[in-house]
Chains A and B, each alone.
Chain A
Amino acid sequence: MKTVPYRKLDWVLVGVYLLLVVFGWMNVYSSSSSSDEEAVFSITAKYGMHLLWIIASFAMAFTIIRFIPVKTYPAISWPFYLAVCFLLVAVAFAGKEVNGSKSWFALGPFSFQPAEFSKISTSMVLAYVMGKYNFSFSKRKDRYFAFALILMPIAFILLEKETGSALVYLGFLLVFYREGMSGWLIGLGLMAAFLFIMTLVLSPFAAILILMGILTLLLAVYDGRPFYTLLGGGALISLLYYLPDLLSLDLLSGITGRFQSEIWLVFLTVPAAIVFTFIFLFKKKRSLRNLMLGYIAGVVMVFSVDFIFEKVLQDHQRARIEVLFGIREDPSGVGYNVHQSLIAIGSGGLTGKGYLGGTQTRFDFVPEQSTDFIFCTIGEEWGFVGAVAVLALYLTLILRLIGSAEKQKDKFTRIYGYCVACCILMHVVINICMTIGLMPVIGIPLPLLSYGGSSLMAFTIMLFIYIRLDLAHWKK
């Protein structure tokens, strides 16, 4: 076996990885140690346990670089993917229950979460399938196949009620985008999410007005007669804006809940108004049809919000969303985590209270301190400077991965690299946005920083497989 050319290793990735892991352990120590016991290497404490996992991860990283041949990965991608899917199903029935979701296997003193490893297997199988010579997103069959590959683990993970982990898989859509999927899908998804939020925060009526505004803008850009379109759309929207006043209805301030019967009247007259306005203004059938389709889809979406919100979401999820948007204030109940998290981070100020100096985090004000809310400890003890430094480290890691992936000649390596970057991106964004109150509480760990063996090990394996693949590129 040839020796591995260590000098060609991507030392930037390795360096950022080491910094994050070491910094992570320091913060796990800070958030889980108490002043009474001083033994750093006690494995009974969380930080001791975490240290063991770090050592194991290093060993794993070394093994991947030194001993496992590159050709293994494409070869095992299908069996690995199927095996992990099987584990995902099995754990939903045979797993042990932690915090209301059955997603852990217990093996003696250790427990691990198959969902963590499913990210690796999905990345590998996507790289394998999409990396084939004749794969193309312009073929319908290929497209559906790629979607099916990410939908399967999502479905199984939802079965375990791990909504947060399932959300991470949306990151693969970015990979699809890079590989040629139409950007419209992401655009439509973002618009749907935006309308959903507007419906909850403002009112269904206001969301419809906003929808009409978006459609008018789109029409203005693509239809070629921006001036008249904007004028007509603007006039219609402002007219409708005053409609509730004329009918003396209160449609703009109502937040959620039952639609009053009168509101249907409004929504029935509005499309008719649009049809007539645009027929007289443009007499252009195609844009009218698109407009109507877009409008109807949007209205259905807005009306289904109530249904989704009340029926599909579980109580705790609904409550978290309500707290996020300020529909409900509940600092001692559901909002407690976020409230305490913000207090901890906010009290850090510019430079923080110093390592081990945090009062909020060290005295257990914030729950799930060392796992999902580890960023609070960083924010409190290291301040704005430390928090931004961590953000910078992650940004470096992700951009470096993308830049490096772009340079690959091998399609498998490129796609795999993108997958790794997008998984880390989703984790970082969801986790940090949750702790700083930009997203509802979704319990997923911060990659490489959070306490938790499965997560650390999975991200280590994921990253080092890429580093090893990248190395192969140099050898040629």
Chain B
Amino acid sequence: MPISQDRKSVLVISIIILFAVMAIRLFKVQIIDKEYRITAENNALKYETRYPARGQILDRYGNTIVGNKISYDIMVTPIDVKEFDTVAFCRLFDMDTSLVKQQFREYRRFRRKIGYQTITFKKQVSNEQYNAFIEKSFLFPGFSGVPRSARTYPFNAGGNLLGYISEVDGDYLKKHPDYRSGDYAGKTGIEEAYENLLKGEKGYTIYLRDAHNRIKEHYSDGEYDKTAIPGKDLTTTIDAELQAYGELLMNHKVGSLVAIEPSTGEILTMVSSPGINVEQLADISKHYSEIVSDPYKPMFNRAVMSPQPPGSVFKLVNGLIGLQEGVLKPETQYPCHAGYVVGNLKVGCHIHPSPLDLHHSIMMSCNAYYCYTFRSILDNPKYGSVREAFEKWKAYTESFGFGTKLGTDIPSEQAGIMPTAERYDKLHGKDRWKSISIISLSIGQGEIGCTPMHLANLAATIANRGFYYIPHLQKDTPESPIDGRFRERHYTMVDTSHFNDIVTGMRMAVAGGPGATARVANIPGIEICGKTGTAQNPHGDDHSVFICFAPKDNPKIAVVAYVENGGFGATWAAPIASLLVEKYLNREICPQRKYLEDRIVTSDLLYKVKVRNK
């Protein structure tokens, strides 16, 4: 059978080729490549880790916000340690002798596990201490020093924003197998979000040991050493000076202050107060317990983690939805006599002229006007039911980012709360609720929670007349371009044309005549537009809220200030936000408004916030 003989030959030749491939691969692995042998000789070789310098964090103008300084870690190879003068040793490092003794008891206990390894004895000793140690190091065999870089903070820019680095713990190691114990990693803020960029790559130097475990020489003249690759610098969108100024304004107040450049979504300032100051940040392990036990929770990044009712600021959103739905016209007028009354229900309002049109309703922040508007949205006959209209309304709010995670590059960003129809079903019974039952939503109260970042985003959206870029902290540079999602425009479901009426109202709120709610925020020479909010809450005094942007045309900055339990929006939030705007656009505060700055900086509102366990 000639054909089957052919086939037999094909099979036999293929099999021989397969075996030849395996033999060649073995030849390569066993004879040619040296790397495997080196790894196997791990026991005879000593790898000394070379730590890379962590990348610096720069502000938008290239100023260093977080830099590096050299400090030293003292390492110990317990098996090499001979008897030494504990007292002299402790004097060098300003330590307690009992601590050293306890440390060595630990080493003895785990001596099997430690073996020939070198482990960290004391972290981050200063340059002076290290020099003193080096002079006397011959007295302390087994100890050595390794340079490590530690963080420095030239600006007093916020701890929640920057985050801190600390030694990785067991949990972290489990989740990140490429880290080794003794490594440092960013734990919160920018340090965490951009860990991969900043961390760099560790290297090592290989030494040969002799039979007595003494280091003899450089292995193969360093041919197989790996140099550490320093981390990349991160240029952020932060304006360091503005950030420091924001921190100053928010000092002794609880709340947040966020500023965004509307045309890019770049975050200029993000303050969460009270924050962690940079001295504590530099040596976080020492201050950690103190920070954690602080009743005002400085670790908590309120700007993105604290959903609160937006208050009257939310009227802008309802106004926009009303315009888009066609149930509201700019010239529509509604009466208000100290409130909105239907049957037993009354939504109170302050005293102002009546009736008002849309522009004046924003200027004077009329509650009744938005009760009417909200009801006409929900009771729109266009929709079959209130439920259907409500779902539509909710879709509108989500297109502004409310109730969703915006997708910023800030760790632990929260989505906030937007009520669902199901929630009202539970509260009132299935489909037993009407527009009047949920009327609080019209003025930004009730079952609604937005983070300050959402509100800053709202300000930026209105400034852009209808779209936003996802707020972000990384500046787009040719070396490290930003993620594509930060370049997309997100349009709301409201047409661009409707925004100008809202902007006009916001301008009138600041610069309008009698009855304007935010005149305190007016800055000479800057066309600033704003809206106050006074958010009722079950915890104490109302929260003071203000969103604004400036200038009116081609806005350069959009700001939200949220001062918890501060009272009226115009009392605290409006001055704070407007001062920040002024600082950013003019780089200084004009003399007429110095009094305002003084008042803000010197006021302490901490007492107004109820805290537990204080």
Binding site for B on A (CB under 8 A): 174, 177-178, 180, 183, 330, 332-333, 342-350, 359-360, 379, 383-384, 387-388, 391, 394-395, 398-399, 402, 406, 425, 429, 432-433, 436-438
Contacts and interface: CB of A to CB of B under 8 A. Distances in A.
Interface stretch (B30-38, B87-95, B562-570): B30-38
A178 to B, nearest CB: 5
Interface string B167-197: 0000000000110000000000000000000
B40 A384 contact: no
Nearest to B19: A395
Given A342-B36, A344-B40, A432-B22, A174 B11 contact: yes
A360 B36 CA distance: 11
B332 interface: no
B8 interface: yes
Contacts of A347: 36-37, 39-41
A433 B22 CA distance: 7
Interface residues on B, range: 20 to 34
A384 B31 contact: yes
Given A388-B23, A436-B26, A346 B11 contact: no
Given A178-B7, A384-B27, A391-B23, A399 B37 contact: no
B40 A360 contact: yes
Nearest to A394: B19
Contacts of B10: 177, 183
B30 A384 contact: yes
B27 to A, nearest CB: 6
Interface of B: 3-4, 7-8, 10-12, 15-16, 18-19, 21-23, 25-27, 29-31, 33, 35-37, 39-41, 43, 177-178
Contacts of A437: 25, 29
B177 A387 contact: no
A391 B19 contact: yes
B39 A343 contact: yes
Contact of A387 (B12, B21, B30, B39): B30
B73 to A, nearest CB: 23
Contacts of A178: 4, 7-8, 11
A347 B33 CA distance: 9
A473 to B, nearest CB: 18
Contacts of B31: 349-350, 384
Given A391-B19, A399-B12, A345 B4 contact: no
Contacts, number: 89
A347 B7 CA distance: 40
A402 B27 contact: no
Nearest to A350: B31
Contacts of B16: 395, 399
Contacts of B177: 330, 332-333
Contacts of B41: 347
A383 B22 contact: no
B6 to A, nearest CB: 10
Given A346-B40, A349-B30, A379-B30, A436 B11 contact: no
Given A344-B40, A406-B8, A436 B25 contact: yes
A402 B40 contact: no
B45 to A, nearest CB: 12
Contacts of A433: 22
Contact of B36 (A330, A345, A384, A388): A345
A321 to B, nearest CB: 18
Nearest to A352: B30
Contacts of A174: 11
B7 A436 contact: no
Contact of A345 (B15, B21, B26, B178): B26
A402 B366 CA distance: 95
Nearest to A333: B177
Contacts of B39: 343, 347
B174 to A, nearest CB: 11
A342 to B, nearest CB: 6
Nearest to A330: B177
B30 A348 contact: yes
A39 B4 CA distance: 53
Contacts of A345: 26, 29-30, 36
Nearest to B3: A180
A353 to B, nearest CB: 9
Indicate the member of B16, B21, B25, B40 with the most A CB atoms within 10 Å. Answer: B40
Given A384-B27, A395-B15, A398-B15, 15 more contacts: A174-B11, A183-B10, A333-B177, A342-B29, A346-B29, A346-B37, A346-B40, A384-B30, A391-B19, A391-B22, A399-B15, A402-B11, A436-B26, A436-B29, A438-B21
A377 to B, nearest CB: 14
A207 to B, nearest CB: 23
Contacts of B40: 343-344, 346-347, 359-360
A388 B20 CA distance: 10
A204 to B, nearest CB: 20
26 contacts: A177-B7, A177-B10, A183-B10, A333-B177, A342-B29, A344-B40, A345-B26, A345-B36, A346-B30, A346-B37, A349-B31, A350-B30, A350-B31, A384-B26, A384-B27, A384-B31, A387-B26, A388-B26, A391-B22, A402-B8, A402-B12, A425-B15, A432-B22, A433-B22, A436-B25, A438-B22
B229 to A, nearest CB: 16
Nearest to B27: A384
A406 B177 CA distance: 54
A251 B349 CA distance: 61
Contacts of A350: 30-31
A183 B39 CA distance: 44
A174 B12 CA distance: 11
Given A343-B36, A346-B37, A379-B30, A429 B22 contact: yes
The 10 closest A-B pairs by CB, nearest first: A346-B36, A347-B40, A384-B30, A346-B29, A343-B39, A332-B177, A343-B36, A347-B37, A395-B19, A436-B25
A333 B8 CA distance: 43
Given A178-B11, A402-B11, A402-B12, A349 B37 contact: yes
Nearest to A346: B36
B25 A359 contact: no
Contacts of A349: 30-31, 37
Contacts of A432: 22
A436 B22 contact: yes
A251 to B, nearest CB: 16
B296 to A, nearest CB: 41
A276 B177 CA distance: 53
Contacts of B19: 391, 394-395
B401 to A, nearest CB: 24
Nearest to A181: B7
Nearest to A358: B40
A350 B7 CA distance: 36
A210 B177 CA distance: 36
Contacts of A425: 15, 18
A439 to B, nearest CB: 11
Contacts of B22: 391, 429, 432-433, 436, 438
Nearest to B40: A347
B7 A346 contact: no
A186 to B, nearest CB: 10
A239 B41 CA distance: 51
Contacts of B21: 438
A344 B33 CA distance: 13
Indicate the member of A177, A330, A346, A379 with the most B CB atoms within 10 Å. Answer: A346
B535 to A, nearest CB: 41
Indicate the member of B4, B29, B41 with the most A CB atoms within 10 Å. Answer: B29
Contacts of A180: 3-4
A425 B40 CA distance: 31
B8 A429 contact: no
B485 to A, nearest CB: 14
Contacts of B37: 346-347, 349
Indicate the member of B11, B16, B18, B30 with the most A CB atoms within 10 Å. Answer: B30
